[in-house]
Amino acid sequence: MPKVKIATEWLAGCAGCHMSLLDLDEELVKVLEAVEITSSPITDLKHPPEVTVGIIEGAVANTANVAVLKEMREKCQILLALGDCACFGGIVTMRNLVPKEEALRTGYVDTPSTVDGAVPSDPELAQLLDRVQAPNEVVKVDAYLPGCPPSAAAIGWAIQELLAGRIPAPVGEHLRYD
């Protein structure tokens, strides 16, 4: 039987959800018998192939995040949002309390930096959005697993649900409120 292809992507956030995914330990080994992880932060594959399940973590804070998220939506049959940041923007949206120009000035001009006190203007660099957004503000997300981060057990459960052909609808023990 062919393996289900899964791609994971990390947007703006802390990477805690990917750490929880790795915390599956032995369960991850069992999952890997049924899936092929085609791209993830570990593989450093910049453009994921078409897959059955895309797992995203993080909020959308810059133009690169927008491009990655749109590509994930295009290439994934099912898109699962992991963690509070990917469900509703989470802690990353705290940046929305400060105007973009002020955040850039504080980060590059008013503090010691390696860019000689100037905001980088290289067109190759991702540009900050005026406000951080939850992924569902940019593309359709099929399923959500909140938590900061969601537990390894909840992630394992969600993956098993997807492998069984069901869209996970977490309740009770699968939810984590931090």
For 89-128, the pLDDT digits (tens) are 888 888 889 898 898 888 888 888 777 778 888 888 889 8
Q: 125 phi and psi, to 5 degrees?
A: -80, 145
pLDDT (0 to 100) of residue 133:
93
Residue 139 is part of a domain; what is its CATH number?
A: 3.40.50.700
Q: Has residue 73 got a pLDDT over 90? A: yes
Closest CA to 138 of 82, 53, 81, 94: 81
Provide the angle, in degrees to the nearest 10, between the axes of the packed helices 26-34 and 152-163. Answer: 20
Distance CA 24, CA 151 (A): 9
**The predicted structure's pLDDT at residue 40:** 67
Spatial strand order in the sheet of 35-39? 35-39, 4-10, 51-57, 76-82, 143-145
Q: How many domains does the chain have?
A: 1
* pLDDT given for residue 92 in this prediction: 85
Predicted confidence (pLDDT) at residue 25 exceeds the cutoff of 60: no
In a domain, 97, yes or no: no
Structure tokens at 158: 């969600």
- Looking at the chain, the whole-number percentage of residues with pLDDT higher than 90 is 21
Residue whose tokens read 């802690």: 91
Structural domain for 141, as ranges: 4-92+129-174
